[in-house]
DNA sequence: CGTTATGTTCGATG
DNA sequence: GCATCGAACATAAC
């Protein structure tokens, strides 16, 4: 699930329910998820810390826990956060459980264990260390800066959009929607895009991400709530283009797939 | 059983 | 050193 819109939704659920609370305990259910850090050591650092704020950057969600530093979460391919009340209701695939007082628990779920959590000194240092580019929705990222960074790459535009060091937050799913909305074929080379294409790409990137957040990214019903003209509900084999009704194509992109409309997104060459 | 999967990292190569 | 590409990782669902 988690690309920028899904992580933003996690944050919006977390902030009102968890901020201001103290960590009364943690249960490390899988050490791999915290890079093998010792549960006892983590407990010593985290216990009693107050969740003060959260800052999303791209697909990462660092949480300010005061003196103890920041706890940075990444959700991998299918991680998520879930609140629950009774400890017995510990959901499946819970890898780390935060206890935030009696009958208030926060679970970091991750079936595939691709994803991690880490105690860091602060959010900015973390973002720098990871080499992340500007957040795709952060207001300070303007169209000119975006165009400059994208056009500096020679790779295929889909892969550039998903490169977290160029812009942070976009993954395989939303890159398909953004390219579809912008009318650009995923295999176009980034450095060959002209000005109007780059401007379109920027505008559609922000519009798609904002729309996904508004329509409840990650929920079962999001696909039904998306505006007409969105590719995502048709992003599957046998899908039809919402614009021209033609067949949606699936391309292989080094091990993963890209869905696009061959007519609305003319192929390069 | 084969295929597919919303992500990052690492090794090889140019 | 940098950019790029593909494999590897771990597990579930169809």
Could you tell me the distance in Å between the CA of residue A257 and the C1' of nucleotide C12?
Answer: 18
Q: Which nucleotides of C are covered by protein (CB under 7 A)?
A: 3-13
Active site residue A59: yes
| Whether pLDDT at A268 is above 90 | no
**Chain B bases having any atom below 7 Å from a protein CB:** 4-9
Chain A 225-264, CB < 7 Å to strand C: 254-255
Q: Which of A85, A256, A266, A268 is catalytic?
A: A256
Q: Is A2 a catalytic residue?
A: yes
**Is the Cβ atom of A192 within 7 Å of strand B at any atom?**
no
Is residue A69's beta carbon less than 7 angstroms from any atom in nucleic acid strand B?
A: no
Predicted local distance difference test score (pLDDT) of residue A50? 97
- Give pLDDT, residue A182: 97
Q: What pLDDT digit, counting tens, does each position of A155-205 carry? A: 999 999 999 999 999 999 999 999 999 999 999 999 999 999 999 999 999
A204 is catalytic: no
Radius of gyration, CA atoms only, chain A? 20
| Nucleotide B7 C1' to residue A74 CA (A) | 9
- Integer Cα distance of A13 and A7 in angstroms: 10
pLDDT in tens, A115-147: 999 999 999 999 999 999 999 999 889 999 999
Could you give the domains of chain A? 4-130 (3.20.190.10), 134-260 (1.10.8.50)
pTM of the model: 0.96
| Active-site residue, A256 included | yes
Q: How many CA atoms lie within 13 A of A137 on its CB side?
A: 20
Query: Is pLDDT of A269 > 80?
Result: no
């Amino acid at each position: 699930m988690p690309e920028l819109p899904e992580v933003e939704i996690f944050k919006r659920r977390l902030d009102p329910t968890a901020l201001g609370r103290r960590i009364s305990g943690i249960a490390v259910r899988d050490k791999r998820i915290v890079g093998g850090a010792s549960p006892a050591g983590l407990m010593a650092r985290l216990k009693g810390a107050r969740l003060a704020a959260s800052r999303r950057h791209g697909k990462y969600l660092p949480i300010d826990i005061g003196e103890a530093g920041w706890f940075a979460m990444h959700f991998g391919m299918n991680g998520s956060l879930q609140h629950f009340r009774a400890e017995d209701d510990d959901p499946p695939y819970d890898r780390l459980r935060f206890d935030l007082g009696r009958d208030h628990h926060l679970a970091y779920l991750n079936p595939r264990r691709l994803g991690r959590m880490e105690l860091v000194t602060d959010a900015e240092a973390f973002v720098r260390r990871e080499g992340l580019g500007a957040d795709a929705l952060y207001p300070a990222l303007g169209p000119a800066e975006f165009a400059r960074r994208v056009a500096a790459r020679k790779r295929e535009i889909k892969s550039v959009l998903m490169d977290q060091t160029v812009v942070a937050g976009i993954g395989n799913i939303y890159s398909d929607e953004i390219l579809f909305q912008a009318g650009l074929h995923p295999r176009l080379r980034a450095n060959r895009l002209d000005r109007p294409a780059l401007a379109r790409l920027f505008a559609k990137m922000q519009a798609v991400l904002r729309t996904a957040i508004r329509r409840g990214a990650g929920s079962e019903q999001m696909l039904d709530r998306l505006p007409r003209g969105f590719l995502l509900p048709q992003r599957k084999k046998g899908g039809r283009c919402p614009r021209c009704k033609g067949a949606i194509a699936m391309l292989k992109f080094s091990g993963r797939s890209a869905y696009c409309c061959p007519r609305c997104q003319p192929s390069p060459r």
